[in-house]
Structure formats: structure tokens, C-alpha cells
């Protein structure tokens, strides 16, 4: 594995036989890489592909149109947008495969995957299909941090108060404060079904975010026998308070299950993979080695970089299953705002 490094223009320039993949999403950071490169008066990529969400079109429109207008300034060939529907994950996979088939593989030496505006499930699908289609090519992750994330600190006490209330009105208000609410569907991601033995109990490694109703929906449908609750820890001092909020939002929920708690970086991909591997090989209270006694599953419902780490971990251990709960409702105004630092991560073969 490699470290995640600060964005380096020379690194990009040296790889002009490349494909750039991004998504025109509603988060400001969806446009960060294109915004960074657009005035350089240079073609950085041979081909570019925009993934276009089929939902929240009005929210996505400003960033999507910005990317569509400016990518031709930095890419020799802009391919037709590929529609992705996170409510139909199998069709999304098929659409990505069809788009990749239109790109001459022999022209590509590097695939840049800009995950800045991607949903976590889309990150996994895109990386996996790129690795399969562009076999042996260099895969590089581009990532823009946000300037700020929801929930914001000034809303912390109000969110906790609403969470502790049983009144229907307050439950609805809580949903309005969070990025997503409710639970629509629990799905095992295609190509990440793992190898589950019929008679084994399930141990779920759960990267916890800030959407307790979504977490409840997953646990209610999936019913794991044991949970390793992984609370995210930001490397930014100004965001470290978010770990405590995530814990308070989910504390009551996890008490209903046999569980242990871990605190894992939201940023350092290599360290997250190491921690997941330690958990996989750890011993439970009954003196059972987890991977021998349990079917192991992961749900990455926290940071995008933890999702990249989950992909790498699943390649180390193909028996591991990746499961998601898609929410009943997304709230685009409650995800992230602004653009922070840009980063590069060279994906290593496992």
C-alpha cells in the first residue's frame, strides 16, 4: 500500500495517456479537481468520463454543468455522460461497464478516479470495474476534502436532543438535520458478495456515520450476530468532536447487539486497512478467531476514504461481504460544503 499524498500537478502531467472519471454530484467538492486544472492550458487526460446521477438533478446541475463545460479544456476526448442510479445498483454497474467498453484500452496507462462527489457504493463499483477492465493499468484515486461537513458543530446539541426524543415531530425534525434518513433497501453489493458459509454466524464491521435510522434499517434486515462498531476519527482537530456525536447517535441502537467499539481514522487509507485486518484476525470473548468462526461483512457508511480502504481489504480477503443500506430519503443540503485540500492515492494491487 502507499500513503495518501497532497495533490501534485506534476504527478498528473506525467500521466497524459490517462482516463479521468468523475461524478457531477451536489457536493461542492465534486468540481474541485476540474476547477484546479481548468486554467492550466494543457490537456492532462486522453479521455474523460462523467458519471451523471439520475436523481437530485436540480441539486447536481450547477456542478455537473461546470464539469461538462470545463473538462474539454483539459481532456482530449470527453465521452458521453454515463447515467448512474444509486437506487438501481445493478443497472449502474451495467452502465459503467458499457462506458468502459467504448474506451480503447491500449490507449490507457493510468485511470484517475475522482471520488470527491461519489456515493460510497459508487466508489466501490467504479474502482472494481476499472480494475477489471483496465487490467494491469495504474489506478489513482483523486480526492477533495470538503471545507465543512454536516452535521455542523453548532447543531450538535439540538441533534442529540431530537435523537433522545420519542415524539414523531422531533423524529421528523431529526431527519431534516441529517444527510439521509429512513431505510429503503439493504443490498449486498454486486461483486462483493464474499463467500458465506450457511451455518456460520455473521460478524459485521460497521463504519458508523451520522444517519442512525439508516443504521437501524440495516441491522434490522441483516441481523448480525456480532458487530464491530468502527467510529471514525478525523485527522483534523476541528472535526474530532464528530466522533462523540456519531457515538451518541448510535449508542442505544448498538446496545441491542453483542458488540465491541473501535476508533478508526476517516482519512489514512493504509492504516484503516491494517486495522480491518487486525479485527478480521482478532479473537472474540468466546476465544473464537473472527474469520474462522464467523462470516465477515463490512458496511462502509462513513467516509469516502474508509470506503477505498474497504475495497482494498475485500481484495485481501475475498470471503468478506460488503453490505449497504440505501436511505429512504437523501437531503442534499446536509452533506458537505466548500472545497478543502486535494489528495492523491495510488491504488496498490493486493
Domain match, 185 and 323 both: yes
At 1, the pLDDT band (50, 70, 90 cuts) reads: very low
Domain match, 281 and 324 both: yes
Longest dimension (CA), the chain: 62
For 206-224, the pLDDT digits (tens) are 999 998 888 999 999 999 9
For 327-337, the pLDDT digits (tens) are 766 666 767 89
109 within 8 A of 17, measured Cβ to Cβ: yes
- Name the domain count of the chain: 2
Whole-model pTM: value is 0.94
Domain match, 75 and 105 both: yes
For 86-122, the pLDDT digits (tens) are 778 899 999 999 999 999 999 999 999 999 999 999 9
Domain match, 11 and 117 both: yes
Domain match, 189 and 271 both: yes
With respect to residue 318, please indicate whether it lies within any of the assigned structural domains: yes
Question: In Å, how far from its chain's centre is CA 38?
Answer: 26
With vertex at residue 97, the alpha carbon angle to CA 324 and CA 89, rounded to the nearest 5 degrees, is 25
C-alpha cell at position 101 = 467498453
With respect to residue 168, please indicate whether it lies within any of the assigned structural domains: no
Domain CATH number, residue 311: 3.40.50
Residue 158 confidence (pLDDT): 87
Stated length of the chain = 350
CA-based nearest residue to 64, from 134, 103, 117? 117
Residue 2 confidence (pLDDT): 62
Q: Which residues partner with 50 through β-bridges? A: 22
CA-based nearest residue to 130, from 117, 115, 145? 115
Q: Report the pLDDT averaged over residues 325-348.
A: 85
With respect to residue 104, please indicate whether it lies within any of the assigned structural domains: yes
Domain match, 198 and 209 both: yes
Domain CATH number, residue 11: 3.40.50.11700
Helix, strand, coil shares of the chain as percentages rounded to 5?
40, 25, 35
With respect to residue 267, please indicate whether it lies within any of the assigned structural domains: yes
Domain match, 278 and 184 both: yes
Q: Can you give the residue range of the structural domain that contains 9?
A: 5-147+336-347
Residue 350 confidence (pLDDT): 55
182 within 8 A of 330, measured Cβ to Cβ: no
CA-based nearest residue to 284, from 202, 220, 344? 202
Domain match, 95 and 228 both: no
Amino acid at each position: 500500500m502507499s500513503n495518501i499524498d497532497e495533490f501534485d500537478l506534476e504527478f498528473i502531467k506525467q500521466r497524459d495517456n490517462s482516463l479521468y472519471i468523475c461524478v457531477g454530484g451536489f457536493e461542492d467538492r465534486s468540481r474541485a479537481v476540474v476547477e484546479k486544472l481548468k486554467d492550466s492550458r494543457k490537456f492532462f487526460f486522453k479521455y474523460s468520463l462523467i458519471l451523471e446521477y439520475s436523481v437530485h438533478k436540480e441539486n447536481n446541475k450547477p456542478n455537473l454543468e461546470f464539469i461538462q463545460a470545463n473538462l474539454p479544456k483539459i481532456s482530449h476526448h470527453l465521452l458521453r455522460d454515463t447515467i448512474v442510479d444509486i437506487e438501481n445498483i445493478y443497472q449502474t454497474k451495467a452502465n459503467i461497464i458499457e462506458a468502459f467498453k467504448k474506451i480503447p484500452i491500449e490507449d490507457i496507462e493510468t485511470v484517475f478516479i475522482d471520488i470527491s462527489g461519489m456515493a460510497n457504493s459508487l466508489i466501490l463499483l467504479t474502482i472494481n470495474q476499472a480494475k477489471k477492465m483496465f487490467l494491469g493499468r495504474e489506478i489513482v484515486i483523486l480526492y477533495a476534502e470538503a471545507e465543512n461537513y454536516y452535521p455542523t458543530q453548532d447543531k450538535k446539541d439540538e441533534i442529540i436532543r431530537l435523537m433522545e426524543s420519542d415524539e414523531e415531530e422531533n423524529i421528523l425534525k431529526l431527519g431534516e438535520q441529517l444527510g439521509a434518513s429512513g431505510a429503503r433497501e439493504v443490498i449486498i453489493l454486486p461483486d462483493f458478495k464474499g463467500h458465506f458459509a450457511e451455518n456460520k454466524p455473521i460478524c459485521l464491521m460497521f463504519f458508523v456515520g451520522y444517519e442512525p435510522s439508516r443504521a437501524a434499517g440495516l441491522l434490522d434486515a441483516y441481523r448480525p450476530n456480532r458487530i464491530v462498531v468502527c467510529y471514525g476519527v478525523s485527522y483534523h482537530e476541528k472535526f474530532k468532536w464528530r466522533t462523540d456525536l456519531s457515538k451518541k447517535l448510535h449508542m442505544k441502537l448498538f446496545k441491542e447487539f453483542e458488540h465491541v467499539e473501535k476508533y478508526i481514522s476517516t482519512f489514512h487509507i493504509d492504516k484503516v486497512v491494517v486495522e480491518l485486518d487486525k479485527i478480521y484476525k482478532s479473537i472474540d470473548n468466546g476465544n473464537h478467531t473472527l474469520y474462522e468462526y464467523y462470516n465477515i461483512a463490512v458496511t462502509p457508511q462513513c467516509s469516502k476514504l474508509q470506503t477505498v480502504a474497504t475495497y482494498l481489504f475485500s481484495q485481501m480477503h475475498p470471503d468478506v461481504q460488503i453490505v449497504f443500506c440505501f436511505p429512504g430519503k437523501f437531503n442534499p443540503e446536509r452533506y458537505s460544503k466548500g472545497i478543502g485540500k486535494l489528495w492523491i492515492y495510488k491504488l496498490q494491487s493486493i
